[in-house]
Structure 1
Amino acid sequence: MPWAVVGFWIAVVAVVLPFAGKLSGVTKDDQVSYLPASAQSTQVAKVQKSMPGGGSTNLVLVYHRGGGVTAADRKAEQRQVTAVLKKFEPANRNATPQAVLSADGTTLMVPVAVAQSAGDAKTVATAVRVIAAEGRPQGLTVLVGGESGLAADMDKVYNSIDGTLLLATVSVVAVLLVVTYRSPFLWLVPLVAVAMAAVAAMAVVYGLVQGFGLSVNSMSSSVMTILVFGAGTDYALLLVARYRDELHHAQLPYDAMRAALRRSGPAVLTSAGTVVAGLLCLLAADLNSSSALGPTGAVGVLCALAAMMTLLPAVLVLLGRRVFWPLIPAYGSEPKRRRGFYDRVGAAVVRRPVMVLVTGTVAVGALAFGALNLTGELRQEDSFVKKPESVSAMRILADSFPERGSQPITVLARTSRTNATLADVTNTKGVSAASTGRSAKGWTEISVTATAQPESPGETATINRLRTGLSEDGALVGGESAQTLDIAHTVSRDQSLVVPMVLTVVFILLAMLLRSLVAPLVLVTAMAGVWAAALGLGGLVFGPVFGFAGNDPALPQLSFVFLVALGVDYGIFLMHRMREEVLGGTPDREATVRALKATGGVIASAGIVLAATFSVLTVLPLVMMVELGSVIAAGVLLDTFVVRTFLVPAASVLLGHRIWWPSRLTGPVPAAPAPLGVVPEPTT
């Protein structure tokens, strides 16, 4: 049977490997894949994409000289703009790009709109940057910014993610497994199993994209990789630890593995179930980037579960006891029982549960106040860890043209009402200029320049006034700044829907496993506290230490889903073992100590691995990824070494048998019979 399982997985990987490699080719990082499905800015982007030529790609050529723009600089600008228009089809043949000189004479701004049929933003911006570098007068800075430049720089970052992320993740997991197992061979077994699970997950997601139109972007693909390695390694650690224990009591590895699966299987299955259910709750989100993350991440966890529950046990059984060399568990022997860290922790918790619970709760609550320091409003130009060319261009424009915006607002007017809509736009407070562009499919583009800088409160007010004033005309307002505004509004709505759904689903699954209503409530409350504390830590370091100008509006929602769904795993491992002890007749307090001692080391190792895998996201050059990885890693460590080690056991001791209400364990549990020759201590 083990050989059949291994053969099956090898065959599966051989078949799906070519499809797994195609996933990056169907990953979409365009605007629509990240925007809210129902927002006005999304409708604008879709209409533009369906127009002949695909609408327009907007870019801004920025010419800057500190001592003032010279006549030679103006000639270079005219020559380069002509070359750009010759190479690419203009979005509007009737409009000629006009250079605007700043009041201090140091900067020329040339907005250029080309047809999207000329190529994607990356293609256009790359070609324009080549043109801008040719024949440039000495001392003149020429930068390409605007929507196209920003999209090109973002695309460059996304294309670098896959290789960097996979290499860093595999390296981190390998090192941690070597340290955990202290064996030259054992670490390879779960690593190979989880790698095969990752291949299967990528192939399945590719199949969903091709067969059902699933939307996958770089963020969801990256997080799926992290989930496969992090969750898969966690399940492996729990199973291998239980298998090692059973080898002391079973002569055959096959029998030991059967016992290990029987005893740890329900906890692992429920653990995976909570993660999958929590992730699928994201399908209710209107934000496309969040809703795409749900099924993609769920596929990753399910593939990791399948590999850890079938392939890993089969390989371990085939390799036998020698895989644990040099610390081989001998049949009939007893593992060394030393009074370790978790023995002392358990004794301290049992001795002073009130002090432990109150002190820990106050500490976690104090950290949560740091979340008030999260500034929000992360602008697109602040989304990069390192400043790319498009951001440098935007900052020069902001300094040189404080009286006008440098990023157009797009209004789509009904073609039959173009003149009336243009008049309404021009008369709107906060609008500096407006001009019509391409018309197709009953729509006409109107490019609007605001008096305020991009993504500033003044520009936001202008966008809101345009949407209110143009509602009767049937016009739509979009563009980069409108997209940022719509994302913020949608995330707020999604959060109020997704968070209660996740809490409810996780609570129900825990109640089914533990057959209790009190224990799940304790675990869910603990994880909510961990989430708040982790966000608080983020608020204390993102701005003051990392220098980030804000945080992504989706950070609280996504970090909540991951921390509650993933973090509750360790609560499941602890409480399931505690319930097992109580069912065996162990008194409640002693059951808490035994469960903590039995699972403490495994949970610590699993927590470190999971935190380390998510911290890999911090090596990526996007602020959102760094923030998400940091918050989840910090939350997992808090849960592992504070909440799961001290607070949950303390609450369990104080609640006693009431923690299992309303199951039959609520009643007094008889003490386990003492071993032969041992006189039980008298009870008081």
Structure 2
Amino acid sequence: MKVSVISRVAQSLTSRRGARIWVGAIIVCIAILFGALSSLEAPARSDSSLVDGSDSAKVQQILDENTTSNNTTALLVATKADSSALTNQDKSALDSQSKALSEGAKVTGGRFLFSDDEQAAMLPLSWSTVSTEADKQTLQDIRDWIQQNPVQGLDLRVTGSTAFAVDITNAFAGADFTLLAVTVSIVAVLLILTYRSPVLWLLPLAVVGIADRSASLVANLLGNLWGLSFDSGVLSVLVFGAGTNYALLLISRYRDELHKTEDHRQALSKAWTSSLVAILTSNLTVVVALLTLGLAVMDDTRGLGIVCAAGLLIAAIFVLLLLPPALAMSGRKAFWPLIPRPGTEIKKENFFGRAARVVMLRPGLNLTALVVLLLVLASALAGTRIGLSQTEQFRTPTQSATAMEQLSAHFPAGEAQPITVLAHADQVDALNSQFAGVENVKRVGAATQVGTSDWQQISVIPEVDPNSAAAKELVTELRTLTADQEQVLIGGQTAAQLDSHQMHLRDLYVIAPLIMIICLVMLGWLTRSWRTALALGLVNLLSAAAADGLGSLVSSLVFDAKALDVQVPLLAFVFLVALGVDYTIFFTHRVQQDAQDLELRKAVVQAASRTGSVITSAGLVLAGVFAALATLPLTVLGQLGLIVGLGVLLDTFVVRTLLLPALFSVLGSAKRPIFGKSSSSAEATAYSSALKESEINA
């Protein structure tokens, strides 16, 4: 895009007549969008953890197609409130409760099965399936009936796959509103502290809020059109975080120009022009990185990436096209009481400039020390385990998780969730012999025919907890044993968890390198120097690894989690690398502009002074909104928010404040230019002229 075109757009957005036209046109577009899409509901979250094309998915499909029974099952687990053994009176009360429950909740239940230690009882429940939502309602009706008809001295809880699905749904009930309220509150407080104005913070918050609502509507449309599954809470966090960052950068440049220019519209036009490249480069980097998640095998990862990419694009559009006219119409008075005017003193060098100057006194030593610090933090990843069990998915106790833990504690571990093997009749005897000698196999059940098909079903009962790593290793061993035998499929809940785990890791190994390539390309385009781009990319990668390592350590303390959820590594990598590079782009672009007129070290100090406050504010905002994910009860979102929040703070206070100035000084000492010529040189020259006119010196 030619500079003349950028200048004309900037003048149109900020002129007296143009600003009103832009605001009016955007309001009309918003009204049309809201009217057309507001009736669309968000697509339902997928309750299935099955991976398309996996053995576990094939097993479930064969069973569904060849089973005449259309029933859903759940398990009712009963224990004493004081964990003592069940008495004969308790057992009689439970048998009576079983009969009453069958009649009251319209389900089928037999007699309670009692554990060998007499401390727990289990009752299988079943009912006719109509739909997934109907199953969830039936499960909730069972729980409501139990709550209304308690058995004195006993705790009764329902677990099973449907129960876990209900608990996840309940966990998100009202959570989106809570998350949005917390996010808005955090952004509002930080904007007020940043601008120290009772008025100015309202403009970016309103613009980003409208962008968030627009992004949600577009996400619902894409989700319904393409069958995408996504978390709207993460979408809102990204839109608010990134959108506010863009607004902070734009308004910071606007405030700088107001100190030099009498006409506030001309100042805003210059600010928009000088910040456009940084905002677009930052936004497109994140958008393209998120779009690579569309290559993921896992539905939840693929859907989240696509809708978040659309959401961030919408956020940038609103900040670049709606916020400037709003600021132009408000004028200088929006900054009240600290109104910037020409002639008022601009602090030449603040804390961030002094920090950059000190670091560059011995850049090689300081750069080495900071890299070692990040490597030490990243080394914590070596001891990090990936994968949470089904009962570890919730940060707060739930019926399904608690009941499953009690079931595993008092009954044979694998009885509730056996490994399902499908084979042909001529293979059954050989498989029984093979499986019987495998470690951690308690017993192999008799083969039964699956409907009228040629398949025989064999249940392998493990001795270990079906949610444990040992159970997944057992599934892997069974699959290895049968790898040379055709028409043998191994499925079940444990196998489904293993398949999901493997595919999430596959997505990480495939997509993470693509994201790094995208960041390198964007940094190369910005700096026009592959040497500089490669150095910045490696710093960004190291910073992300350090944040993951630090986050995993803190997560084990804050959430008492023994591992990271399998979704966290990829999502954290995407957000840390793609969002973390934002601050590198903002700072590098300012150094690039200032270096047109100043010696490199002076340009770095001046860029640090001018961008220090805004990047710090942006980092605090982004870290704060991701920390808001901790308000949700799911471990995966809490871990994701914690790791990304810590990573953003690490980028803000260590990488951008200390490491990048040292890196630029080291690169500059090679007597080779660290920036190449770019198409934005005319814009950089214009900016340098403005610096001369305002007599801003390092």
- Among 90, 104, 124, the alignment partner of 1:73 is 90
Q: Residue 93 of structure 1 aligns with which residue?
A: none
The residue type paired with residue 40 of structure 1 is D
For residues 425 and 197 of structure 1, the distance between their equivalents in structure 2, rounded to whole angstroms, comes to 60
Report how many residues are paired.
659
- Among 306, 319, 327, the alignment partner of 1:316 is 327
Structure 1: state its 5+ residue gaps.
91-95
Matched, 1:428 2:445: no
Segment drifting more, 480-489 vs 167-176: 480-489
Segment drifting more, 547-556 vs 115-124: 115-124
For residues 558 and 286 of structure 2, the distance between their equivalents in structure 1, rounded to whole angstroms, comes to 32
For residues 389 and 559 of structure 1, the distance between their equivalents in structure 2, rounded to whole angstroms, comes to 29
- Among 288, 297, 305, the alignment partner of 1:277 is 288
- Among 210, 220, 223, the alignment partner of 2:224 is 210
Q: Residue 25 of structure 2 aligns with which residue?
A: 8
- Among 558, 574, 590, the alignment partner of 2:602 is 590
**Partner SS for 1:58:** strand
Distance 1:437 1:85, change over 3 A: farther
Distance 1:443 1:11, change over 3 A: farther
Structure 2: state its 5+ residue gaps.
1-17, 679-684
Q: Deviations along 1:340-380, whole A, 9 cap, x unmatched? A: 20231122123221232122222222222222342333111
**Partner SS for 2:339:** coil
- Among 257, 264, 267, the alignment partner of 2:278 is 267
**Partner SS for 1:138:** coil
Q: Deviations along 1:155-183, whole A, 9 cap, x unmatched? A: 21123321111111111101111110011
For residues 263 and 197 of structure 1, the distance between their equivalents in structure 2, rounded to whole angstroms, comes to 23
Matched, 1:600 2:612: yes
The residue type paired with residue 68 of structure 1 is A
For residues 45 and 292 of structure 1, the distance between their equivalents in structure 2, rounded to whole angstroms, comes to 23
Instruction: Kindly indicate whether the alpha-carbon contact (under 8 Å) linking 1:517 and 1:662 is maintained by their aligned counterparts in 2.
Output: no
For residues 515 and 489 of structure 2, the distance between their equivalents in structure 1, rounded to whole angstroms, comes to 34
**Partner SS for 1:411:** strand
For residues 427 and 97 of structure 1, the distance between their equivalents in structure 2, rounded to whole angstroms, comes to 35
Identity %: 33
Matched, 1:386 2:396: yes
For residues 69 and 270 of structure 2, the distance between their equivalents in structure 1, rounded to whole angstroms, comes to 61
Segment drifting more, 5-14 vs 164-173: 5-14
For residues 439 and 338 of structure 1, the distance between their equivalents in structure 2, rounded to whole angstroms, comes to 81
Distance 1:412 1:118, change over 3 A: farther
Distance 1:313 1:246, change over 3 A: same
Segment drifting more, 375-384 vs 453-462: 453-462
Matched, 1:28 2:65: no
- Among 551, 554, 559, the alignment partner of 2:564 is 551
User: For the aligned residues, what is the CA RMSD?
Assistant: 3.2
Segment drifting more, 558-567 vs 159-168: 159-168
Q: Within 5 Å, give how 1:31-430 maps onto structure 2.
A: 31-32=48-49, 35-44=50-59, 56-65=71-80, 66-82=83-99, 99-117=112-130, 119-120=132-133, 121-133=135-147, 135-211=149-225, 213-218=226-231, 221-330=232-341, 332-337=342-347, 339-401=349-411, 403-409=412-418, 411=420, 413=422, 417=424, 424=431, 428-429=435-436, 430=441
Distance 1:421 1:61, change over 3 A: farther
The residue type paired with residue 356 of structure 1 is N
Q: Residue 5 of structure 2 aligns with which residue?
A: none
TM, length-normalised to structure 2: 0.86
For residues 68 and 286 of structure 2, the distance between their equivalents in structure 1, rounded to whole angstroms, comes to 43
Q: Residue 532 of structure 2 aligns with which residue?
A: 519
**Partner SS for 2:124:** strand
Instruction: Kindly indicate whether the alpha-carbon contact (under 8 Å) linking 1:62 and 1:142 is maintained by their aligned counterparts in 2.
Output: yes
Q: Residue 588 of structure 2 aligns with which residue?
A: 575
Q: Deviations along 1:371-409, whole A, 9 cap, x unmatched? A: 2342333111011111111121122122212x4325324
Distance 1:427 1:19, change over 3 A: farther
Instruction: Kindly indicate whether the alpha-carbon contact (under 8 Å) linking 1:516 and 1:661 is maintained by their aligned counterparts in 2.
Output: yes
Q: Deviations along 1:473-529, whole A, 9 cap, x unmatched? A: 635433332222112211222222111100001101111122111221122111111
Q: Deviations along 1:611-631, whole A, 9 cap, x unmatched? A: 111111112111111111111
Q: Residue 553 of structure 2 aligns with which residue?
A: 540
CA drift of 1:537 comes to 1.3
Distance 1:600 1:428, change over 3 A: same
Distance 1:118 1:517, change over 3 A: closer
Distance 1:224 1:118, change over 3 A: closer
Distance 1:675 1:606, change over 3 A: closer
Segment drifting more, 112-121 vs 645-654: 112-121
Q: Residue 523 of structure 2 aligns with which residue?
A: 510
- Among 555, 568, 573, the alignment partner of 1:560 is 573
CA drift of 1:445 comes to 6.9
Q: Deviations along 1:5-43, whole A, 9 cap, x unmatched? A: 2223322333333666556542323115xx544423344
For residues 398 and 89 of structure 1, the distance between their equivalents in structure 2, rounded to whole angstroms, comes to 24
Q: Deviations along 1:173-204, whole A, 9 cap, x unmatched? A: 01111110011110000000001101111111
Segment drifting more, 68-77 vs 419-428: 419-428
TM, length-normalised to structure 1: 0.88
Q: Within 5 Å, give how 1:438-457 maps onto structure 2.
A: 439=451, 449-457=461-469
- Among 631, 646, 654, the alignment partner of 1:619 is 631
Instruction: Kindly indicate whether the alpha-carbon contact (under 8 Å) linking 2:425 and 2:454 is maintained by their aligned counterparts in 1.
Output: no
For residues 281 and 55 of structure 1, the distance between their equivalents in structure 2, rounded to whole angstroms, comes to 39
